Every structure is written in C-alpha cells, then in structure tokens.
Structure 1
C-alpha cells in the first residue's frame, strides 16, 4: 500500500462494512476519497494479519479496525502477531480496533429497528421477497429481528445495498457504539 504521512487506514471485513464506515466518517466531515482516511475492505477477516503487517512496515500510517464478535479471535491473534500485545476487547479498543456485538447487520438492526429495515427493503424493491422468505417453514416462527438479519445477508448485492441505505439513516444518537468509537478514533488520529 502506498500512503503519505499521517494517513489513517480503517480495516473492515467486507464492502458492506466499508460503506457504513465511509458514510459515518463522511457525516462527521471526513473525506474518505482524499487518501488521508482510507477504509479498506479486506475481503474477509482472515486477511487481517497481512493488512496489519503492511501497516506495521509503514510508520506514518495509523491502522484502526472493526470486526464481528465471532471473528474477534482473528483480530486478537493478528494484533499480537504484529507486535501489539493485546488479550482483551478493551485493549483492542485502546488501539482503535472495535468489535460489533454479533455483526454489523445486527448492530444496524438494533440501532434503527425492524421498521426502518423493512422500509429500506421496500425502497430497494426487496420487501416482497422478504415476505416470501418469512413464509418459508424454517423462518416462519422466528423473531422478526432474526428474519431480517438472515435476509439482509442473503441474496446477491442485497447486503451491500441495504448497509448503504441504513448507514445514511444513522444519527449520532442511533449510531451503534463500536461504529461511533471507531469514527471517534479516526477523528482523533487525523487531528
């Protein structure tokens, strides 16, 4: 990676995570297109070590990150292997690496509520497909939250489109804690 002095790189698992972080950063006045703050979708959590290794070689780059709770162990191990002696979530946060409770979609669902997610699905033209999904025997008796969570992560391009739509609805009061702390970390790093 080529970076100039004082750059901040935010490492996230996938493109849907990146669009949410970019939207929140831009809402706080950060330009994620100027190269000073870059949000990097790693193409999966198992690539974290390689990305951190690159950042370690570049002293002028401040790396931050966001992961889902089931993948926290990958982040912890990669941080340790790249010279950052952390063992707890709190220590990760002190370095600028934050963990979503279940995953980013769950954070957005809890923050905005099922009604907002259904409205976003309607805007995207996916509500009728969601209603069909709800009638499937294996999903029929599940909580609406669980149905929306599963549906959001299935279907080509749906996860990215929905994440982008929901990110634009977040306010400072509704932004999930890991995302709010990550953006604050980015702001601190560029000041």
Structure 2
C-alpha cells in the first residue's frame, strides 16, 4: 500500500513535469503493474475500489493501479504516461458517453486501444442511481443525515419539475466530498444483480 501511494504521488508529479517519470517507472516495476484503470474523478475511484473490495479483490496485489485523472480532458496526458509511450501498461477505465470523443482521440494519440473503456450513459452516479432506484437512494440520504439538505435542495426553483433521478444526481455534486462519500455508499447498497453494466464489465475485465 505504501509503495502504491508513492507511485501515485510520483504520477501526480510526472503529469505536470515532462522531465519526471524515472521514479514512477521504478515503482511500477517494483509493484508489478500491468494495468492502469483511468477514471475521471475521485468519486468514480471510490466506487471502483469499493466494488473490488466487496468482491474480495486486491487490485494492487493483482498489478492494477486505479487512477483519478481529475477530468476527462486529462485522458491524453495519462494515456501518454501510462500507455505505450510511457510505462506501457494496459489501459482501461470508465468514460461518460458525452466525453467518449476525448477518450478516443487521447488513446489514439498514445497508440492505445479504446475498446477496453466502458461507457456510462451520463456518468457513474447516474448509473448507480438508476440501478438502485430513486427511493433507495433517498433512503440512503436520510440514513446519512442529509435529509434536511436534500429537502432544502428540492425547494430551490431550479429543481421544480425536474425528474427525481436528475435531482439526485445534481444533489450529490453540490457539496465538496459528497460525491466521493456517496460513490462508496451507493456501491455498498447494490445487490449482486444491481451492479451497473459498465462498472461490472470493468471489474470483470481486470
């Protein structure tokens, strides 16, 4: 775990420094890394790691690093560093349907295939909300002590008349750290047959 944390720290430095990378390469070899899972943000990372743990998977021990890129626009840089031009790891991950073009272009530039990326209709939160159903997600919100903020959010004029699933998805992004926390909570609430297809197929591919 310490070595994986060090690897992520070196990757963060390498992303902003074209002259870095030697230490990241050494750590990748020491860890036996073979695959990088590229995710748009930390809430996606929380969901993937939570599902892996539920299934008894130790991704780091399997040579898999899970990376939060900080936005879809970073795909080209991460593909360059982690894919064939850099560490030459197999690249996989999740992407939102509207961002698919960014991923295709970034991966193509790095000489990496794009068929190993699994597409969410809107985003992973949307997939999880639809899988669980809005009533169940509201139960989780209440159980977490967020009922009052949720009710306040619903009273806003901009939310009047919007479908419940869209309201829930927007609510999860209204406070720093909320999406990350609920990325874990929603995955923990999934039944065995409720795992959204993109997330399920991603874990199965690792």
TM > 0.5: yes
Q: Secondary structure at the match of 1:22?
A: helix
Contact 1:30–1:37 (Cα < 8 Å) also in 2: no
Aligned to 1:135: 155
The residue that corresponds to 1:78 in the other structure is: 106
**2:46 equivalent to 1:19:** yes
Report the counterpart of residue 89 of structure 1 in structure 2. none
CA RMSD for the aligned pairs? 1.7
- Are the counterparts in 2 of residues 24 and 167 from structure 1 also a CA contact under 8 Å? yes
Secondary structure of the structure 2 residue equivalent to 1:180: helix
If the length of structure 1 is used for normalisation, what is the TM-score?
A: 0.86
> Equivalents in 2 of 1:72, 1:150: separation in Å?
21
User: For the residues of structure 2 that align with 1:9 and 1:123, how far apart are their CA atoms?
Assistant: 34
1:38 aligns with 2:58: no
Q: 1:138 deviation in Å? A: 1.5
Mapped contact 1:53–1:82 kept (Cα < 8 A) = yes
- 1:3 equivalent in alignment to 2:28: yes
Higher relative contact order (CA 8 A, sep 6+): 1
What CA distance in whole angstroms lies between the structure 2 residues aligned with 1:23 and 1:154? 22
Number of matched pairs: 177
1:102 is aligned to 2:122: yes
- Quote the residue 1:126 is aligned against: 146
Q: Does 1:52 align with 2:72?
A: no
* TM alignment of 1:152-163, pairs within 5 A: 152-163=172-183
Assess, with a 3 A threshold, how the Cα gap between structure 1 residues 84 and 32 changes in structure 2: closer, same or farther: closer
5+ residue gaps, structure 2:
1-23
